[in-house]
Structure 1
Amino acid sequence: MSQNSEYNKVDYIEICEVGPRDGLQNEEKLLTVDQKVELIEEVVAAGAKIIEVGSFVHPKAVPQMADTDEVARKLKRFDGVEYRALIMNLKGVERAEANGIMKAKLTVSASRAHSLSNLNKTPEEAVRGFAEVANFAANKGIVLSGAISTGFGYPNEGIIPIEDIYPIIDSYLEIGVTELSLSDTTGMANPQQVYDYAKAVKEKYPQILWNLHFHNTRGMGLANVVAGMQAGITRFDACFGGLGGCPFAPGASGNIATEDVVHMVNAMGVRTDYDLDKLITLAKKVQDYVGREVSSFILKAGKSLV
């Protein structure tokens, strides 16, 4: 495909590395603090400018993330790199601030049934419940972003209509959040849906910085990235080695692999900040650390590019 093809709607994408959080949170083998710090610092060396370093949640809920405080304290910080963490409540953002993490991500489920069964709140009520978090963050200079998980579908409900997403976005705006991720937590999205939803939210909410997050549960993760690019999205989450899943979404397989995304878009003539060879080396180390074969295609087949 020609690099100047009209097929490409963007010539650069930004990839947030979510491996230290969304990748490792579902692994049976617990990595040490030093191993986590090493992976984070090596992905920075490979070109990452946005990294999700962990989550400040209750250790009983996600034991793999129980050491995020120590990881955050031990990290060597690099200029121009955004270090963020997932939080769920006021205690979480207080822990983030105490450990020098000045970017925090909130998340709610777009599935009403999922939200009501877990929180006894609608998604909109769940977002408005973050008002205290937003006030604390504003006072401390912490920037908040938001995620809408199961944003394309949930197994017990099927496809989530785009009309159900809009009130959640409005609720985030009410508490001052203007950076949002539409997340395919359960891997149910397809490229046409991704294009339609991404185009719709970009047009309806131009004031929001949009990000897309895909899992490769049904093998459509990379195709969904391309569909998002065609709709004009330039920010995507990905994970070293394609690790991950979701402890609260049974059957959800790993994230799309960072090295797979970089390899694909490089072949399309789209730039990233990443060094692909360094990413491949990192993915091999990740595979060794977790003690199992990871789902990265490039790790198995190698590069098609010279």
Structure 2
Amino acid sequence: MSEFVKIVEVAPRDGLQNEKTPLNLEQRKDFILDLMQTGLKSIEVGSCVSAKWVPQMAESDALFVQLPQDPNIQFSLLTPNLKGFESALAVGCKEVAVFTAASESFTRKNINCSIDESLEKFADVMSAAKANGIKVRGYVSCMVDCPYEGAIDPQQVVKVSKRLLDMGCYEVSLGETIGTATPDRVKKVWDACLAELDSQVLAGHFHNTYGMAIANIYQSLNQGIRVFDSSIAGLGGCPYAKGASGNVATEDLYYLLSRMGFETGINLDALMHASRNISQVLKRNNPSNYANAYWQTQCA
């Protein structure tokens, strides 16, 4: 039996929140309904944050309520504070995510506090989650480089990841936020993390600014990482990292994993249908190499 690699689809949150074209609630719902047909097991629905600061994520809790529940799909919401968590809890969400960074400068620019302060803010969320049987996933940005500080010490990544896990996160996703990393540098970070942490509690989140995302994922696979975040049609970017392009495209990640013999549970036809639909809705070109090759083959 082929080894399974979990793909966490982040386009409805991490993708759409950084797209210039905001979608209304119905369009976001249709997008997620398309994703639900693909066989993806984990989908990040949105973010319970102020619509004033992130208008693309307005009414994510209302969106969550409208989605048909599927026992085979884990929906999640990003909840940066207790207020956000309470909104997620009220709509029956069973998994939430919190985020910080391995860079002090990035954390201050992103969420206006230090790393320690960000973790302190999560304490109430963690306690409430534990009391209500809610799973918490952690995000750590800048696993290799920071747009403000440059190279990040791998031990700093380990330190922040351990703190999130000790606080109660079941998994920590390490973000290669600005896409500047190469496989040799990614290896050093995983080496440091795996010296102290089990690979089963770690995930990779790679951006494709310099076309290195798939190479970095390949390196991560070789070191035993089996969970990756991706965004269909390469949606998103990072508003706090100048020039950072979208997340690795789910289509490209699927191609790598399937050709290497890993199982993903993905239905290719449904994936490509969802990919084309959202690209048309956003009126944008799809940067996925696989998607472009696929459609050229279909039209030949």
For the aligned pair, the TM-score class normalised by the smaller chain equals over 0.9
TM-score with structure 2 length normalisation? Answer: 0.93
The amino acid that maps onto 1:99 is V
Give the whole-Å Cα distance in 2 for the aligned partners of 1:84 and 1:131. Answer: 19
User: Pick from 120, 123, 140: which aligns with 1:148?
Assistant: 140
Instruction: Give 1:27-38 correspondences, 5 Å limit.
Output: 27-38=19-30
Give the corresponding residue for 1:5. Answer: none
- State the match for 2:212 in structure 1: 220
Unmatched segments (≥5 aa) in structure 1: 1-9
Aligned to 1:160: 152
SS in structure 2 of the partner of residue 241 of structure 1: helix
Residue of 156, 159, 183 corresponding to 2:175: 183
Q: 1:94 aligns with which of 86, 90, 98?
A: 86
* Counterpart-to-counterpart distance in 2, 1:125 and 1:21: 24
Alignment correspondent of 1:50: 42
1:12 aligns to what?
4
Q: Identity over aligned residues, as a percent? A: 35
Tell me the alpha carbon deviations over residues 236-268 of structure 1, each in whole angstroms, 9 at most, x when there is no partner. Answer: 001111110122322211011111110122122
Alpha-carbon distance between aligned partners in 1 of 2:239 and 2:78, rounded to the nearest angstrom:
14
Name which of structure 1's ranges 214-223 and 114-123 shifts more when overlaid on structure 2: 114-123
C-alpha deviation, 1:117, in angstroms: 4.9
Partners of 2:20 and 2:108 in 1: CA distance: 28
Is the contact between residue 128 and residue 175 of structure 1 (CA under 8 Å) also seen in structure 2? no
After superposition, residues 67-216 of structure 1 pair within 5 angstroms as 67-117=59-109, 121-206=113-198, 209-216=201-208
Distance 1:241 1:207, change over 3 A: closer
Separation in 2, partners of 1:261, 1:211: 14
Measure the CA separation in 2 of the matches of 1:115 and 1:50: 26
Aligned amino acid, residue 266 of structure 2: Y
In structure 1, which of residues 209, 227, 248 is the aligned counterpart of residue 240 of structure 2? 248
Shift, 1:304, TM fit: 10
In the aligned structure 2, how far is the partner of 1:305 from the partner of 1:177? Answer: 43
- Contact 2:165-2:171 at 8 Å conserved across structures: no
How high is the TM-score relative to the length of structure 1? 0.91
Considering only aligned residues, what root-mean-square deviation do their CA atoms show, in Å? 2.0
AA at the equivalent of 1:93: F
CA offset digits 1:15-67 (Å, max 9, x no partner): 11111001111112221222211221221211110000000011111110012
Q: Which amino acid letter does the alignment assign opposite residue 41 of structure 2?
A: K
Q: Is the 8 A contact 2:46 2:60 kept in 1?
A: yes
Partner in structure 2 of residue 6 of structure 1 = none
CA-to-partner distance for each residue in 1:137-174, whole Å, 9 max, x for gaps?
11122111101011211122111110111221232134
Say yes or no: does 1:297 pair with 2:289. yes
Q: How far, CA to CA, are the matches of 1:22 and 1:283 in structure 2?
A: 16
Q: Contact (CA 8 Å) 2:147, 2:241: kept in 1 or not?
A: no
Query: What is the DSSP-based 3-state SS (H/G/I as helix, E as strand, rest coil) of the residue aligned with 1:182?
Result: strand
Q: CA deviation at 1:299?
A: 2.3
Aligned pairs, how many? 297
State the SS of the aligned residue for 2:255: helix
Give the conservation status (yes or no) of the 8 Å contact 1:195–1:230. no
Matched, 1:63 2:49: no
**1:124·1:171 contact (CA, 8 Å) conserved in 2?**
no
Specify whether residues 118 and 256 from structure 1 end up closer, same or farther in structure 2 by C-alpha distance, changes over 3 A only.
Answer: closer
Contact 1:17 1:238 in 2 (8 A): yes
